[in-house]
Amino acid sequence: MSKAPYDQLYIYEIAGDARAHTRGLGASFLGLWLEGDTSFVFCSAPADEAVQRLLAAAGLVLRQRHHLSYEQWQGGLDLEPLAVGDLWIAPAWDPAPAPPGRRRLALDPGLVFGSGLHPTTRHCLDLLWLRRQAGPLGRVLDLGCGTGILALAAAAWGASEVIAVDQNPLCVATTQNNARLNGLAVAVREGPAAEFLDRPAGVVLANLHYQVQQGLWSRPRDLAGYPDLILSGVMRSQKGPLEDLLLSRGYAILERREAEFTWFSLWARRICYKT
């Protein structure tokens, strides 16, 4: 199959957490995206009656209905293979083999961010490959894993342990599915990123909004157990404050990446033990 197995998306925007009430949505149900106090229920066909039953059972309210093609959901772009390091990251439905000398990594992004199309994802992959060339990755912690693309790459590049974290249940399910597709050992956990900075990791990956990054690295915790940080998701006005924060916590910026003077990514290494 050369085309995505998704065509039309019917999205029901519901006020409240509907996770416990999705069993009766039928075969067209694709997944639930939870954002704040809003549930986005995705279906491959209209499911008005089933959603009405869900609303009645859960005591929730439908805010809006949306209808998009899968290409529209992906920003109007077809998913294409991405070469990084010795990997060939290709859509799971693309039957073409990897070019000689590269390992094929199948990715089904489903309805989740992290297909490799966005420059922040490509930056993180590039910086992770550079870090791998510097030595073994050890334990890798992927905060805000999305599709799991960064966690999968870390596992493929020999990380001793990979822990992928996301507070969105659809991201957790998507990462688990992609790990199974590739036969890679990735431990996937659901919850806020900050709750998982409680054990050492040789590399921490975090492609997250600036406000989340700021909260992670400004808290008064000992960061000695996190020697390498690969961070992305910040925009031009946020790059300087993030770098200043990291410098104040004992990190040096080893590498930077920039796309269209809008999106910025960096690899920071701890050089002293401040708290």
Task: For residue 80, tell me if it sits in a domain.
Answer: no
Torsional class of 26: left (φ above 0), alpha (ψ -120 to 50), beta (otherwise) = left
Residues 69 and 117 in one domain: no
Sorted by sequence, the CB contacts under 8 Å of residue 128 that are 6+ apart come out as 137, 150, 153, 154, 157, 203, 205, 230
Using CA atoms, how far apart are residues 107 and 109, in angstroms rounded to an integer?
6
Residues 35 and 145 in one domain: no
| Structure tokens belonging to residue 71 | 């290409």
Using CA atoms, how far apart are residues 90 and 97, in angstroms rounded to an integer?
9
Domain boundary among 16, 42, 73: 73
Residues 119 and 56 in one domain: no
Residues 149 and 262 in one domain: yes
Domain boundary among 73, 100, 124: 73
Residues 139 and 58 in one domain: no
Q: Is 252 helix (H, G, I), strand (E, B) or coil?
A: strand
Using CA atoms, how far apart are residues 241 and 38, in angstroms rounded to an integer?
31
Domain housing 60: 8-73
CA nearest 256: which of 244, 239, 238, 237?
A: 239
Provide the greatest CA pair distance for the chain.
60
Ranges assigned E (strand) in the chain: 8-15, 29-35, 38-43, 61-69, 82-84, 87-91, 103-107, 139-143, 161-166, 187-190, 203-207, 228-235, 251-259, 263-270
Domain boundary among 51, 73, 95: 73
Residues 231 and 159 in one domain: yes
| Average pLDDT of adjacent 10-residue blocks, the chain of 275 residues | 73 95 92 90 95 96 94 73 95 92 94 82 97 98 96 98 94 95 97 91 96 92 93 94 96 94 94 61
User: pTM here?
Assistant: 0.89
Task: For residue 20, tell me if it sits in a domain.
Answer: yes
Task: For residue 23, tell me if it sits in a domain.
Answer: yes
User: At 15, which CATH number?
Assistant: 3.30.70.100
Using CA atoms, how far apart are residues 124 and 131, in angstroms rounded to an integer?
10
What is the per-residue pLDDT for 4? 67
Task: For residue 166, tell me if it sits in a domain.
Answer: yes
| Structure tokens belonging to residue 21 | 């009430």
What is the per-residue pLDDT for 1? 44
CB 228 within 8 A of CB 268: yes
Q: How many domains does the chain have?
A: 2
**Residue 126 φ then ψ, to 5°:** -60, -45
